[in-house]
Structure 1
Amino acid sequence: MIKILKYLILIRFRKILPKDDYVAIGLFLLFYVGVFYFLNKLFPQYPYLFLFSSVELIIYHRNREDLDLLKFGKNFKILLFIEYLIYSFPFILIYLLNKRWDILLIHISTLMLLIVIKKRDFKIISYPFKLFDPFWHICFRKDKLLIFIPLVIFLNILGNEYHNENLNISTLLIITIIVCLPSFKREKLIYLKVSPFDSKTYLRKQIQVGLLNTSMISFVLLVCLILFKQWNLLLFMPLVFIFSVVSVLFKYSFFSNPLLQQIFFIFFIGTAQFGLPFLMIPFLYYKSVKTINEVNNVKN
C-alpha cells in the first residue's frame, strides 16, 4: 500500500517536479512551507473560505481515470482516503493548530463522501447558452466553470459579513474571467466558410450571443450586489459586458495568433483604468471584420 501511495503522489506531481531532481524537490517543499505559513496567518480572518480547499480534490477525483484500475486492489477506498489526506495535510494541520474541529470534521466528511459515493456522470448539464457560439458550452463542461458560481455567492456573503469589499471586488474579477474564457477558443475554418452570414453580421451575432450569455452569468453577481447593497460595485458591472465584447474582438483581430490575442488582451485589462484602451474598440471592430474576410473569403 505504501508503494502504491508513493507512485500515486509522484504521478500527481510529475508535471512540476523533474524526476530525481532533489534541488527542485527541495525548493518545492520550501515553497510549500512558505505557503503554509501564509495560509495559517490568513486562516483566522476567513476560516470557512478554506473549505474550498476540498473543491480541488473533488475536481481531481472526478477527472481521474485510474479509479477502475484501483478498484481491483484490496482496500482501495482506504488507499484513496489516505492519499487525499496526504494531499490536504497542510490544511488539516492548519485546522488542528487553530483548533477548528468543526471545519476539520466537514473536511474529513467531504473526503469520506467523495470516496464512498459512487461516481456518477454529472457532465451532461443543459446550459441555457445560445449555441451560435458553442464554446460557452464547451468551456463550462470541460473547465467545470459552474463551480465558480457558488464561489461568487459565498465570497459575497463573506464580504458582507466581514465588511471586506475586496472579497466583493474579487467576485467581479471572477465573473469577468469566466465570460472572457470562451473567446479564447477558436472555431475551425470550415465553420467560417460555410456560414451564411457576411463578416459584419457574423461578428455582430458573436457579440450579441456573448452579451446574452454574459447577462445570464452576471445575473447571480448582480443579485448579490443588490442584496448586500454594494452600490459602488454596481457601477462597474458594465465593465463585465465591455470586456466580454472586447475579448470577442481580440479573438477575431488575432484569429491566427492566439498568443498575440492573450498579450494584447492582458495589456487592455491592465491599462483599462486609464481609459485610453477603450479608444481601440472601433479599430478592433474594423480589424475583426477584415480578418474574418481574409480567413473565410466572405464577400459583402
Structure 2
Amino acid sequence: MSTLVFIEFNKNIISESSSQAATIANELKNEVYGLTSNDDETYISSLGSKGFDKIFVIDDFNNYSAIEEVINNNGIKTIFSPSSNTFKELSSKISTKLNFSIASNVLKIEKNGKISSSIFTGKAESHMINDNDSCIYLLNKNIVESRDFDKKVDIIKVDSKTTENISFEILEQKFIEEDISLNDADVVISAGRGLKGPENWKMIEDLAKKLNAATACSKPVSDAGWRPHHEHVGQTGLKISPKIYFAIGISGAIQHLAGVNSSKTIIVINNDPEAPFFKAADYGIVGDAFDVVPKILNSLG
C-alpha cells in the first residue's frame, strides 16, 4: 500500500509537518510517495532521509491534471496533508473530483483504519473508522516525532500535457523574516495585553533568544498593532503545537486556547490567580510578568 504526502516547503526546506507525515506513513509500513512543485533536484534527492521512497515533481499545485495523473496512475488511496490553508483548499478540490473522503485535525491513524481527531477546539477527541477506501488525512502538527531514514529516493517529473486548473491561484508568496519559524518552533514565548504596551516586548524577545524560541501573541495584541499579525495564535490565527508554550500576561480565552491547546507543555505566567489559562496549564506562576520574566532571564544567565 502506498501513501502520498503533499510536501510543504519553507524557504526550500521541507516543513516539519511534512516530515512527520512521512514518518507516520513509514510507521504504517506503507510505501511513501511525495508530491511537490519544488524542482531543486539536489535538495529533493535528499528526501529519502525523511522517509520518502519516491518524489513526484509537478510544475504547480494549481495544475489539477498533474495531481490527478499522479493519484490515478499510481493507485493512490491514502493522502497525508499538512493542515495549512493552501493544502486544505487543495484537498477539498481533490475530494470532490476523485471521491476521496477527508479526515481533518487528525491526531492518530491506526493500521485497522481507526482515526482519532481533535474536535470542539481541542476539548475532545473523536474516534471513527473510515469506510471509504480513498481518504485525505489533514494531520495536526507534532502528533509524532519525525525520524530519519536510510532510503534512496526516486524522482519522477510529471509532464502533464492537459491543464485543468483548480479554481484558486497563489499570486505571491512572501516569506516572513524570522530567526525561528513559529510553525516549527519547539518552544514558543507568547504574551498578551498584560505587557501593557509594545515598548515592553524586549524582555519577551530576550527570553526567546535565551531559549532558542519563537515569539507569539494574542489576538488583542495583534489587533492593537503591538506585534505583527503573523505572530497571532488562536482560533482565527495560527494553530501551533510546540513542545513548550509560555503564555505570559494572557488570560486564556477559549479562542486563544483553540490555537495552542495541543502544545505538549503549557506554562502560564499571570498576576490573576483566576485567569482561565491556569486550568489548561501544566505549570503556572501567579505573579507580575514584570517581576517574573526578569528573574527567569537572570537565572538563565
TM over 0.5: no
The TM-score, its normalising length taken from structure 1, stands at 0.28
Task: Kindly name which structure, 1 or 2, has the bigger radius of gyration based on alpha carbons.
Answer: 1
- Normalised to the residue count of structure 2, the TM-score between the two structures is 0.28
* More strand as a share of residues: 2
Structure that is richer in helix per residue: 1
